[in-house]
Chains A and B, each alone.
Chain A
Amino acid sequence: MIESPPAWPNDIYASLKALGVRQLPYVPDAGHTRLIEMCLNDNEMRAVPLTTEEEGVAMLAGSWLGGQRGALLMQSSGIGNCVNMFSTIRVGRYPLLTLITMRGQWGEANPWQLPMGRNAAAILKLSGFQVLDLDAADMAAETVAAGGRTAFEANQMVAVLISQRLIGSKAFTPAEDG
């Protein structure tokens, strides 16, 4: 069965463009694949692959020091890698916009993803974030726009959690069954 790709990654991309986001550090996630591709192909954006998510937190402090807006793309498992670096953002009253694709949530079949997925929102809130849930495709553009406005104009830490229900849960099909 061939399905046409969902439009919400395009909507997020358009919202990031409208916000004037220029630096896009990321650790890949299947749910961010198309958004990352669009950003990599955009000459006005700098999409930067990271070796670990906390690099992106530090990088966005630097981008703001230099006058550019940015956003960090990661999956929920990366939140734990960032916790100490979030302190830099909080104590410096920096804006930080992060778009997080959720694992360990709706229909998760990999038990190793569950602990960080279940704790994602709580850890973010403890770290000082406003957490916005995105679980309906037609809300993608305005959720990212609203989060970006609060982040960049009110100097806040804002995380948009993109529901696994929206992305679709990953199937693990052993070869002998496939």
Chain B
Amino acid sequence: MWDPSRADRYPLRRREIVEHLIKDMDDLLIVAGLGAPAWDTTAAGDRDLIYPLWGAMGGTAMIGLGLALAQPNRRVLVITGDGDMLMGLGSLATIALQGPANLSIVVLDNERYGETGMQATHTAGPADLAAVAHACGFEQAATLYDEEEFDRATPTILEGEGPLFFAIKVRAEEPPLVLPPRDGAHLKDRFRMALLGPGQGVNPAV
């Protein structure tokens, strides 16, 4: 029931998945969960409209909700890990109730806590994140296991009517670290200035 080794054999690779989703998609508003998802988005090309987290475990999807409600005409893509999503399962109920049409949540599910030594998470056992999301009210929630399924789902992730939830089973591996800037205020201010205008940094005029 708890098989910490099966993710060693999953065919999908996290870096390729993330690059495929976000490379050259410069209009996306991206929130990347702490640890490997943040390194993955940075490896695909650090940019102002990616907000990578170095903490806030359990909160990534909710940051995405606040952003999606504030920017209903922009696609918001949350890319996070299974550990972060497990810590914020309740947020799936909160998000589904609001039903943001422009929000997509992608969980790179390697069934491990990657930053602490690759210990197995609950998704290496019976926990099924897509089933939780569906039960919370996400009409579109699925688990993707191979390239064919991922390719078929990609247009939906990027353009489909949300809220959308995809758990993508990726190989348990540790690609080289590619680190985004660490200063939280810098990351926030560069995002706001890129999205809202050059006057929207530390001392906004609004």
Which residues of A does B touch, CB under 8 Å?
20, 22-23, 46, 48-52, 54-70, 84-85, 87-88, 91-94, 152-153, 155
Contact = CB atoms under 8 A, between A and B. Distances in A.
B93 interface: yes
Contacts of B191: 65
B99 to A, nearest CB: 11
Question: Most B CB atoms within 10 A — which of A20, A65, A92, A155?
Answer: A65
Contact of A66 (B57, B71, B185): B71
A91 B184 contact: yes
A59 B66 contact: yes
Contacts, number: 128
B113 interface: no
Contact of B63 (A51, A59, A93): A59
Given A23-B70, A55-B91, A88-B56, A67 B196 contact: yes
Given A50-B94, A51-B94, A67-B196, A92 B188 contact: yes
Given A49-B97, A52-B90, A55-B62, A23 B55 contact: no
B59 interface: yes
7 contacts: A49-B94, A58-B58, A62-B65, A64-B66, A66-B195, A92-B187, A93-B184
Tell me what chain B mostly uses at the interface: helix, strand, loop, or mixed. helix
Contacts of A68: 66, 69-70
A61 B70 contact: no
Contacts of A55: 59, 62, 88, 90-91, 94
* B interface, size bucket: 35 or more
Interface in B174-206: 183-185, 187-188, 191-192, 195-196, 200, 202-204, 206
Nearest to B65: A59
A67 B197 CA distance: 10
B138 interface: no
Contact of B59 (A22, A58, A94): A58
Interface in B155-185: 183-185
Contacts of A54: 58-59
Contacts of A61: 56, 59, 63, 66, 188
B148 to A, nearest CB: 33
Given A55-B91, A58-B62, A65-B70, 14 more contacts: A50-B94, A51-B94, A58-B58, A59-B65, A59-B66, A61-B63, A64-B66, A65-B29, A65-B51, A65-B67, A66-B29, A66-B68, A87-B56, A94-B188
B64 interface: yes
**What 6 A-B pairs come out closest when comparing CB atoms?**
A62-B66, A66-B70, A58-B59, A51-B90, A92-B184, A58-B62
A23 B71 CA distance: 12
Contacts of A65: 29, 51, 63, 66-67, 70, 188, 191-192, 195
Contacts of B55: 84, 87-88, 91
Contacts of A48: 65, 69, 94, 97-98
A48 B59 CA distance: 15
B38 interface: no
Nearest to A87: B55
